[in-house]
A and B are shown apart, each in its own frame.
Chain A
Amino acid sequence: MTIPVRIPTPLRKLTDNQEIVQVEGGTVREIIDHLELTYPGLKERICDEQDNIRRFVNVFVNDEDVRFLQDAETPVKVGDEVSIVPAIAGG
């Protein structure tokens, strides 16, 4: 079972310019680990040295920011979509 993951523009150099990639995993953390296997270098962009999701990275499972769920431990199932989105300003 694979989950579609949306890759933001700044990271597409690492995914051969693919906007959506398919990876396996039952939690956000597993998905990030699997992304790293196929696209080396991706994980250090998303996670800091302590393995936490970086301050300026928002990860969504469907429409919900994982910080409102269980952060990196948020479960993911078939039919879900994961998005990685840089934080942006405005108003």
Chain B
Amino acid sequence: MDKSQFFSHLQCRECGRRYTKEAIHVCEFDFGPLEAAYDYEAISSALTREKILSRPKSMWRYHEFLPIESDPAVGLYTGFTPLIRARRLGEKLGVKEIYLKNDAFNHPTLSFKDRVVSVALSRAKELGIDTVACASTGNLANAVAAHAASVGLKSVVLIPSNLEPSKVLNSLVYGTKVVAIDGGYDQVNRLCSEIAGKYGWGFVNVNLRPYYAEGSKTMGFEIIEQLGWRLPRHTVVCMASGALLTKIRKSYKEFSETGLVSRDDYTVHGAQASGCSPITTAIKNNTEVVRPVARPQTIAKSLAIGTPADGYYAIRAMKETGGTAEDCTDAEIIDAIQLLAETEGVFAETAGGVTLACAKKLIESGRIPRDESIVLCITGYGLKTQEAIVDHMNQPPVIRPALRDFEALLDEQFQTL
């Protein structure tokens, strides 16, 4: 299928210069990030809700808004994750209407990164690239390794050496080459930007970034469709580089401007861990200058990016929609993970704890009114970061297989059951 009629070119976000649709990511003139640009008039006249509804339930049902030129080759089952009406959580928080967009349930590696990698690798195939790579705090590496394996691409993933063991294992199993770097994510990223281009590899978050980043929009498209074709009034998104928040805002804008949803007001809010909160700090100080964090310290390792590449755009997206940002401590993250699990049966990774803990502060301080609709973006699955909470859980009691022991246990410990 020819999809090139919708995806027209790449464009610098800073100066607007146009570039051809290659494996390039920054403007040669000002280093501004390149972004995919579309012919929205063509999309408007070609795409309807009915057409979307007639397609398979995956992120690709919105393919007109994605930067590929032929049928997708990678990640055909990715996306269309549940949007959960969180009634019990809503009662606890004292809000009327709250939902979880649950990408902890994404295919195949249980995080929203499956979306971005599906697009990046589909585009890599179109560009004739045979080896793909990434710098990652874990989730992206998992997604690159799995998706590359599924279509026979070679892959190399570079990660900080202190990552959670389950995230490392969840890359190794796919037969990818995992390289652990003695340093934090920002050091890994810097090395990757020096490697990218050298061997003709497609680095999903470097030279394939304009394609990769667009995949995040599908999380926002799905939210609109699953809410019954309406925009949530408030959306809370955790921030590492700030790209997801920026792209969710873009998805709301694109659906509004092409007439797929009515142009109602919406607000996006950002969430970070206090141990690495360069974007939230800039918002709190009412500046657009993001001061990098040299040494991030937080259990939310997937958000531990001290130099957020999209920080500036995330700040603008929040400001332009009337949103704001919060941050939370490690203890608050753990409490939030437990609250989410105990009220909704959803086990989120630490980043999900950050989203909920910050949303709670936004609600309690009145910045999110209690009677307006709220969506929390849950971006990854809890078992990926089990180390963060394992010491905070009670170990199960061990008893003999005897009724007497069980009854004694009930009397002693489980009176509340």
Query: B29 an interface residue at 8 Å Cβ cutoff?
Result: yes
Chain A residues with Cβ below 8 Å from B113 are 91
**Contact A91 B140, beta carbon cutoff 8 Å:** yes
Chain B residues with Cβ below 8 Å from A89 are 33, 205, 209, 212-213, 241, 243, 309-310
For A6, A9, A57, the residue with the greatest tally of chain B CB atoms inside 10 Å of its CB is A9
Query: A26 an interface residue at 8 Å Cβ cutoff?
Result: no
Within 8 A of A (CB), among B252-275: none
CB contact between A65 and one of B24, B137, B204, B307 (< 8 Å): that residue:
B307
**Contact A68 B309, beta carbon cutoff 8 Å:** no
The answer for the CA separation of A8 and B31 in the assembled complex, in Å, is: 10
Distance in Å from the Cβ of B99 to the closest Cβ of chain A? 23
Within 8 A of A (CB), among B12-42: 14, 24-33
Query: A67 an interface residue at 8 Å Cβ cutoff?
Result: yes
Q: Which of B50-58, B147-155, B190-198 contacts A (4 or more CB under 8 A)?
A: B190-198
CB contact between A86 and one of B26, B134, B305, B310 (< 8 Å): that residue:
B26
**Contact B24 A10, beta carbon cutoff 8 Å:** yes
Query: B292 an interface residue at 8 Å Cβ cutoff?
Result: yes
CB contact between B205 and one of A44, A56, A85, A88 (< 8 Å): that residue:
A88
**Contact B194 A6, beta carbon cutoff 8 Å:** yes
CB contact between A10 and one of B26, B213, B240, B292 (< 8 Å): that residue:
B26
- In the complex, which residue of chain A has the Cβ closest to the Cβ of B244? A91
Distance in Å from the Cβ of B245 to the closest Cβ of chain A? 12
Query: B139 an interface residue at 8 Å Cβ cutoff?
Result: yes
Chain A residues within 8 Å of chain B by Cβ, number: 28
Main secondary structure of the interface of A (DSSP, over half): mixed
CB contact between B30 and one of A9, A45, A60 (< 8 Å): that residue:
A45
Chain B residues with Cβ below 8 Å from A67 are 291-292
**Contact B140 A10, beta carbon cutoff 8 Å:** no
Query: A63 an interface residue at 8 Å Cβ cutoff?
Result: yes
**Contact B140 A90, beta carbon cutoff 8 Å:** yes
Query: A77 an interface residue at 8 Å Cβ cutoff?
Result: no
**Contact B187 A56, beta carbon cutoff 8 Å:** no
Using an 8 Å CB-CB cutoff, how does the interface string of A2-22 with B read, 1 for contact, 0 for none? 000010111101000000000
- In the complex, which residue of chain A has the Cβ closest to the Cβ of B306? A65
Query: B135 an interface residue at 8 Å Cβ cutoff?
Result: yes
* Given A56-B14, A65-B307, A88 and B192 contact (CB-CB distance below 8 Å): yes
Distance in Å from the Cβ of A41 to the closest Cβ of chain B? 9
Chain B residues with Cβ below 8 Å from A48 are 30
Using an 8 Å CB-CB cutoff, how does the interface string of B223-260 with A read, 1 for contact, 0 for none? 00000000000000000110100000000000000000
Query: B78 an interface residue at 8 Å Cβ cutoff?
Result: no
Query: A27 an interface residue at 8 Å Cβ cutoff?
Result: no
**Contact A90 B28, beta carbon cutoff 8 Å:** no
Residues of chain A touching chain B, judged by Cβ–Cβ distance below 8 Å, are: 6, 8-11, 13, 44-46, 48, 54-58, 60, 63, 65, 67-68, 83, 85-91
Known: A83-B190, A86-B26. 6 other contacts (CB 8 A): A44-B29, A56-B31, A56-B32, A65-B294, A86-B25, A90-B189
Rank and list the top 5 A-B pairs by shortest CB-CB distance, nearest first: A90-B205, A56-B31, A9-B197, A91-B240, A89-B309
